[in-house]
Structure 1
Amino acid sequence: MKTKYWNIYQANEKQQQEAIMEASLLLQQGETVAFPTETVYGLGADATNEQAVRKIFQAKGRPQDNPLIVHVAAVSQIEKLVRNWPSYVDKLLEAYTPGPLTFVLPSNGTCTTSVTAGLDTIGVRIPSHPVARQLLSTCHLPIAAPSANISGRPSPTSAKHVWEDLYGKIAGVVDGGATGVGVESTVIDCTQDIPVILRPGGITAEQIEKIAGAVMVDPGLTTENGKPKSPGMKYRHYAPEVPLWIVSGSKGDIQATVHRLQTEGKRVGVMGKDSTILHLHANAAIKLGNTMEQVAANLYDALRTFKLGEVDIILCEAFSEHGMGQAVMNRLSKAATRMISLQ
């Protein structure tokens, strides 16, 4: 398959409109198109077309029991896909959408069973990225869109990442530049009286609690048993090419671990906040930024940057799980081969 490429962020208005129309037409014809959202790049297909949705699973090599999130342009489209929702959803919709928040609600059966993985619920969200919003408004379809990468690999935060993983496997890639948030949307189960976080992401637990009054965390976040209610709950995700160790300890503890591994003949890469990396000496190093928002935005690109043949192991400092740190540590724990506590 030949994969079409549209460069949106460096195009003039006429070229952008033409690209969006072409990409929309492919989606309407049952093809798969990758596009940017404010979180990561998504691989989109018509959520009401079973054959189109199957192409997502084929391109990614994704397990069939892993549900997909449906992206729409407006609340009115959500209403057409679900049966009902509690009153706190209206408040959260007003406060945080468009944006990186996915609502799991009772499905009315409009979308295919491959989207819901046979569950009676469906995850829906309204992205805020202008390219995503243009595409969704133009194609007039609910678009199922998991991350546009080979399943298990770090999620793509640029069109280059998508091209590396899926060239020749999908119909097109809309290049809208680098994404913003850098980790996937927060997923909340809204089928009960209190919202339950199924996957931490771009909207924090504290932000949800501020609007909804209360929020709980699903115990499935820390186990891999049973059928996942949300993407990111069950399977190993986000894994780089080489083993990743998460180290909880001081800068001195991390440096001592680097030294020990190097004496064993291993080439060691390190990643962490700028203030940590400044004090570490390794074979390769990547600074993730000074704030947790910057760490989240740079995380997946860093995991993709360390290549097999250049380093033998990656060490990343452990972060506080407050605020955005909860989403970052969730992704790192899914990607890691080992967690080390030296405190």
Structure 2
Amino acid sequence: MLLTEANQTSEVTFILLGFSEYPDLQVPLFLVFLIIYTVTAVGNLGMILTISISPKLHTPMYFFLSHLSFIDFCYSTTVTPKLLENLIVEDRTISFSGCITQFFWACIFVVAETFMLAVMAYDRFVAVCHPLLYTVIMSQKLCASLVAGTYTWSIVSSMTLTCFVLALSFCGSNIINNFVCEHSAIVSVSCSDSSVSQMLCLVIAIFDEVSSLCIILSTYIFIFVTVMKMPSTGGRQKAFSTCASHLTAITIFHGTVLFLYCVPNSKNSWLTVKVGSVFYTVVIPMLNPLIYSLRNKDVKESFRKFMIHLTQWY
């Protein structure tokens, strides 16, 4: 019996509706998302390359930033190509294995981004509040451990949720009213009891969001108190400027996630959910390298030198 259900589930295909209810917008949306994905790929890969080849950027802050760029690139690559395909082809189906694979990797990268932003907040806390001990505290071993812990927890979270989704059975209508195989959309078309899987997803999501925000808020409270105690205005401005890019990235990412959690679970909210999902799966990975490069003199200078050397080499 179980073998029969497993075989039936493996043969299931899903239909990603995406933005199919707006046929006149398919080509314009394709062009917009293609441009966004191109900027995302170039921006994040360029950020990683610039940090890796510039000795001036071989510091803990840029080490974490390179991993954030890696996460953003992988996250966007997991979601956007299928979105682009569904905008130009009539067949919007995706196999069960393809849908689960997309969910697995997307879950890894969204959890990883959540905690990578928290790790970067801790790095800013040490830099501003304990500048003389910064190189001692933020050792290579600690930096590697923080990054390894972030990836480990994201993989554990994703594997746990994926296993519970795989335990569900699917039959009948398998139309997913979204452009990505995310958890709530998948379990909504299951013909078995998905309450345990939904509760587990809610618990993990709340834990991730609350714990990461607690780290971020507590570190920035200490940063704010320390900065306000600085005697010189120049010192305060410099301290705030080092945190401005990170605060911008945090506000956009967590603001979008919290907004999506506040959307009521009704049919009228699906368009809002899709737009919100587009923002944090497609747009945010593009914005992060722009935020950090445009507001950071070291990154702009290193990138300019890299482009000069590249031009001379050619």
Q: Which has the higher contact order (CA 8 A, sep 6+)?
A: 2
TM-score range, shorter chain: under 0.3
Counting strand residues as a fraction of each chain, which structure ranks higher? 1
Return the TM-score normalized by structure 2.
0.25
Q: TM-score, normalised by structure 1?
A: 0.24
